[in-house]
Structure 1
Amino acid sequence: MAFENPGDGALNYDPCRYGASKLLFRGPRRRLEGRFAVFFGSSETYGKYIERPFPELVGDRMGMRTVNMGCVNAGIDAYQHDAFLQDVAGKAQVAVIQVMGAANLSNRFYSVHPRRNDRFIKPSALMRTLYRDLDFSEITFTQHLLRSLEEHCPRSYALVVDELKAAWVARMRSWLGSLDCHTVLLWLADHAPGEGDGSSDPRFIDRKMLAEITPLVDRLVEVVYPVPAEAEPSDGLVFSELEAPAAVSTPGVSVHEAVAEALVPALQRIIA
């Protein structure tokens, strides 16, 4: 079993903040000047349970500073509304943006926390009209929300999914269009775009949606990794016993190595 236990087994992510941003990032803190690449994304970019995530590996291979601004369970909203991070991207030579799912963003049916995007805040009046008999008071996370919506009324759930897809494309187009730097879009998942079961991340994103935003980026890099064996964590993860259930579905060191290997040539061509 790929379980490493230094001390209590949990990694020290050395959390830090940058400038006026209210988001908490993985450390160590890096200088935001000179020649550097910035990485935006969710838990995989952050490197949950990984000692050296792919932003760090890319920096080693390219001999340049990389700034990891991935956030655990982040969605587009965490980044799009953060003016400081827009400025950071403008200073960087290139921004690598992980494709994040469509579930964790505010839309016409429900709102999420502006920074912790996996947190469900409240349903809209439209949502309450569609789901008159559903009690939202016990729901805290978007995963729980969507599961409840689908079980309660599949027909209405389909309308919510369509709304999330449309909102995701519009939000991504707006965000990418506002970034004043070269950009690389990273698809990182255990399935190709549009081939997931509807519940796997990046949730609800298909090939058609990506085609609508790829004209706004310099390159799209796709990394599809094999699904770990059932109830068996991936290679080289570092976690405590309490974290073991969550670590089971987390891509391991070999996946981060594969991402770095795929990203480096694309970044070298852009920077050159």
Structure 2
Amino acid sequence: MSYELFGADAPGIAPCRYGESKLLVRGPERDLTSPYIAILGGTEVFGRFVDMPFAALLESQLGRTCVNFGCVNAGLDSFMHDPGILRRARSSKVSVVQVMGAQNLSNRYFRVHPRRNDRLVEVLPKLVALFPEIDFTEFHFNRHLLNTIQQVSEARFAVVQDELQRVWLSRMRLLIRALGANIVLLWIRYGPNENAHFLDHEPPLVSRHMVETLGPQVRGVVVTDVQRADAGGEVQDMEVGPVHRPIAGHVIGPCAHRRVAADLEAFLRAL
């Protein structure tokens, strides 16, 4: 079976926008006039290079409409700056919110793109003062920036890390308040190995304590540990051409999506 890969890498399915929303999310556009479960998140929720992301699997298992509001490379700021998606998620019966990384947030040291949160827009004076030896003109992505400053100085990197984690908690609380009741957090965890740096794991810079702090404000937290597609030998099962094969290896594959769907199904059935 052949597939056409559209701009956001959804096999054979064009991504879509809902109403006034500026976020390009997983298609096809769904009818929101009947009760539905909203699923918000980044690349994992979108299901990049995967024919059946876990939102679609969950819908089949529960027999309830599950709307995929996943957006490739989106972060917390993507949703906080998009009232159209927030309004539609607030109107759902349940909002499942992916625990997204803390690296893709505008903060006192740098600003990120309002929709593609992985992209660096501006380095602010506080970061220049903290790392005067670095020429920041070469950076276009947040992770590249953070990896570099960590290599230059672990101690000074820790200052930026503390800021990002503080901002993450603040934004998560704002998002939870914006969505109202019946929120479930979905923590999809994966990384290269147990001993890798905190920044190398997905979601980056998010600790168990940070997630547990939010526990009293939501209906529950679903935690699923998975592997990257290359570590799990799943790239051959993904709808991806040769050019994108290295990228596909760094996201989650079909087996991981099935595991997430199963964990969510077990939790949501008990609500």
TM-score scaled by length of structure 1: 0.91
Which runs of structure 2 are paired with 1:126-205 in the superposition (5 Å)?
126-190=126-190, 197-198=197-198, 199-205=200-206
Cα deviation code 1:52-90 (max 9, x no counterpart): 100011111111111101111111000012111221122
Shift of the 241–227 alpha-carbon distance from structure 1 to 2, 3 Å rule, reads: closer
Equivalence for 1:254: 255
Amino acid at match of 2:135: D
Q: Distance in 2 between matches of 1:122 and 1:50?
A: 33
Deviating 4+ runs (over 3 angstroms): 7-10, 226-235
Cα deviation code 1:85-111 (max 9, x no counterpart): 221122100011111000001011111
Q: CA RMSD in A?
A: 2.0
Q: Distance in 1 between matches of 2:266 and 2:231?
A: 33
Cα deviation code 1:168-194 (max 9, x no counterpart): 011101111221241111111226xx9
Shift of the 7–219 alpha-carbon distance from structure 1 to 2, 3 Å rule, reads: closer
Equivalence for 1:50: 50
Equivalence for 1:93: 93
1:74–1:116 Cα contact (<8 Å) kept? yes
Equivalence for 2:226: 225
2:229–2:253 Cα contact (<8 Å) kept? no
Shift of the 264–195 alpha-carbon distance from structure 1 to 2, 3 Å rule, reads: farther
Cα deviation code 1:147-175 (max 9, x no counterpart): 12112222211100111111101110111
Equivalence for 1:16: 16
Shift of the 48–7 alpha-carbon distance from structure 1 to 2, 3 Å rule, reads: closer
2:230–2:250 Cα contact (<8 Å) kept? no
1:235–1:254 Cα contact (<8 Å) kept? no
Larger mean Cα displacement after TM superposition, 236-245 or 172-181: 172-181
SS at match of 2:270: helix
Shift of the 111–184 alpha-carbon distance from structure 1 to 2, 3 Å rule, reads: same
SS at match of 2:136: coil
What's the CA shift for 1:195? 7.7
Shift of the 165–244 alpha-carbon distance from structure 1 to 2, 3 Å rule, reads: same
2:3–2:239 Cα contact (<8 Å) kept? no
Equivalence for 1:213: 214
What's the CA shift for 1:49? 0.7
Equivalence for 1:6: 2
What's the CA shift for 1:255? 1.1
Amino acid at match of 2:94: V
Larger mean Cα displacement after TM superposition, 129-138 or 53-62: 129-138
Q: Distance in 1 between matches of 2:3 and 2:216?
A: 47
What's the CA shift for 1:7? 5.7
Equivalence for 1:62: 62
Structure 1, unpaired ranges of 5+? none
SS at match of 2:156: helix
Larger mean Cα displacement after TM superposition, 226-235 or 206-215: 226-235
Count of residues in Structure 1 that have an aligned counterpart in Structure 2: 264
Structure 2, unpaired ranges of 5+? none
Shift of the 229–19 alpha-carbon distance from structure 1 to 2, 3 Å rule, reads: closer
Amino acid at match of 1:190: Y
1:195–1:206 Cα contact (<8 Å) kept? no
What's the CA shift for 1:235? 5.8
TM-score scaled by length of structure 2: 0.91
Q: Distance in 1 between matches of 2:266 and 2:146?
A: 38
Q: Distance in 1 between matches of 2:216 and 2:232?
A: 39
What's the CA shift for 1:136? 1.2
Equivalence for 1:268: 269
SS at match of 1:259: helix
Q: Distance in 1 between matches of 2:232 and 2:173?
A: 37
SS at match of 1:137: helix
SS at match of 1:140: coil
1:97–1:186 Cα contact (<8 Å) kept? yes
